[in-house]
Structure 1
Amino acid sequence: MTGNDASSDAERKMQFLFALRSKGVTDTSVLTAMERIDRAPFIRGYFADRAYEDMPLPIACGQTISQPSVVGLMTQALRLSPRDKVLEVGTGSGYQAAILSQLARRVYTVDRHKRLVREAGAIFRQLDLTNITAVTADGSFGLPDQAPFDRILVTAAAEDPPGPLLAQLKIGGIMVVPVGQSDTVQSLIRVTRGEGGLDYEELRPVRFVPLVEGLGRDG
């Protein structure tokens, strides 16, 4: 790498972090994790050169990789601690799970598409992210064998927070999930499970692919 390349790379990274802050990602630990995990390896083909832009991009199996600011805001909303065990529903490219891996003790990520899980797993190994377990399964039912979880992040929209996932959340745990009809703007909801029940907090409008039951055709 030449001096000019290194300078250009550093400038792109600075602009990337500035864009995150300007969109409301202010948690220092989240920003550090997003600086550490390069988005580029998670984007292939035609859109690879747009990895540092704050926009969603298409990936395999008709899915998308979320725009970085939304990844940051969702991660921030989880209020993670280093001892947390996290379930992510919707592995997709693997980028969100990689960010979570920098902030939590253990990350379980599940997707209905075997191809996405396989490709994300290869990147996790390449980056030596040893605290992520990627599983092909119907994420709408969570991972009962590994429950309960301190935190649950759902990266696809449900009409309501899924009951099976809420049941796998520890007392004091937090779930962040987009809620709404798939053809309208959804709301990002934070659900906190307390001793007396569930507390719901609306965070911001978002747009995600719908949460679909069953395995993908490649699964």
Structure 2
Amino acid sequence: MNIEQARFNMIEQQIRPWDVLDAGVLELLAVVKREDFVPAAHKALAFMDTEIPLGDVAKGQVMLAPRLEARLLQELNVARHEKVLEVGAGSGFMAALLGHRAQRVISTELDAALAEQAAANLKRAGVLNVTVLNQDGAKGLAAEAPFDAIVLSGSVEVVPEELLQQLKVGGRLAAIVGDEPVMRAQLFTRVSEKDFSTRILFDTVAPRLSGFARRNAFAF
């Protein structure tokens, strides 16, 4: 496989047609080597338009499809002076992308083996402004708040209020919210101490993040 041709095709045939037009994001995807964050057994899938298994797929342990990661990155619009929280480090690829755009990134990962692997991948890639923490990120990281941006690298039924409260005024949170068969990527922006705006970005489906509360089921 011609890796650089595969990377080019991924960007031009999957990512750009999905309304990812930010030149900085596209350039970053050409520079950060996605294949270095893919488990050895699945290297052949590195540039395909699919989720890649990282461990227990039943627990949502996957790398999100490249176009979905790229679109979330574009919508967050992270600036160089900003501090970012990611919930769900996975293999560390999204954290690496964020690390190239932000001043500092903290990425939480509930699975200890994945957290260790993500940290190793980031170190090997020379991304030194990302810290991976092996802990539940469903309640955010109050000790490090407030954040300029938060991204949930997986889906949730609802975004916890506790996470929204850890945004600075002007801060953004990107999440995939809802239930199958249709979920929606949404961007929450803190417009004042008390108020938030919500923008629907696009419809998609993604595996659940572990540790997040579920809505109460109806009882008959």
What's the TM-score, normalizing by structure 2?
A: 0.89
- In structure 1, what is the Cα distance between the partners aligned to 2:18 and 2:40? 27
- In structure 1, what is the Cα distance between the partners aligned to 2:41 and 2:175? 30
Letter of the 1:176 partner, please give it: A
Q: Which residue of 1 aligns with 2:187?
A: 190
Deviation of the 1:164 alpha carbon: 1.3
Secondary structure at 1:18 match in 2: helix
Letter of the 2:7 partner, please give it: K
Letter of the 1:192 partner, please give it: T
Q: Which residue of 2 aligns with 1:134?
A: 132
- In structure 1, what is the Cα distance between the partners aligned to 2:43 and 2:4? 18
1:53 aligns with 2:48: yes
Deviation of the 1:68 alpha carbon: 0.6
User: Is the CA contact 1:88–1:110 (under 8 Å) kept in the aligned structure 2?
Assistant: yes
From 4, 11, 16, the equivalent of 1:10 is 4
Considering only aligned residues, what root-mean-square deviation do their CA atoms show, in Å?
A: 1.5
- In structure 2, what is the Cα distance between the partners aligned to 1:154 and 1:209? 11
From 11, 14, 17, the equivalent of 1:22 is 17
Mapping of residues 1-219 of structure 1, within 5 Å: 8-19=2-13, 20-62=15-57, 63-181=61-179, 183-195=180-192, 197-213=195-211
Q: Which residue of 2 aligns with 1:217?
A: none
Secondary structure at 1:155 match in 2: strand
Distance 1:213 1:11, change over 3 A: closer
Secondary structure at 1:175 match in 2: strand
Q: Which residue of 1 aligns with 2:218?
A: none
Distance 1:48 1:162, change over 3 A: same
Deviation of the 1:31 alpha carbon: 0.9
Gaps of 5+ in 1: 215-219
Gaps of 5+ in 2: 213-220
Deviation of the 1:185 alpha carbon: 2.0
Letter of the 1:18 partner, please give it: E
User: Is the CA contact 2:91–2:121 (under 8 Å) kept in the aligned structure 1?
Assistant: no
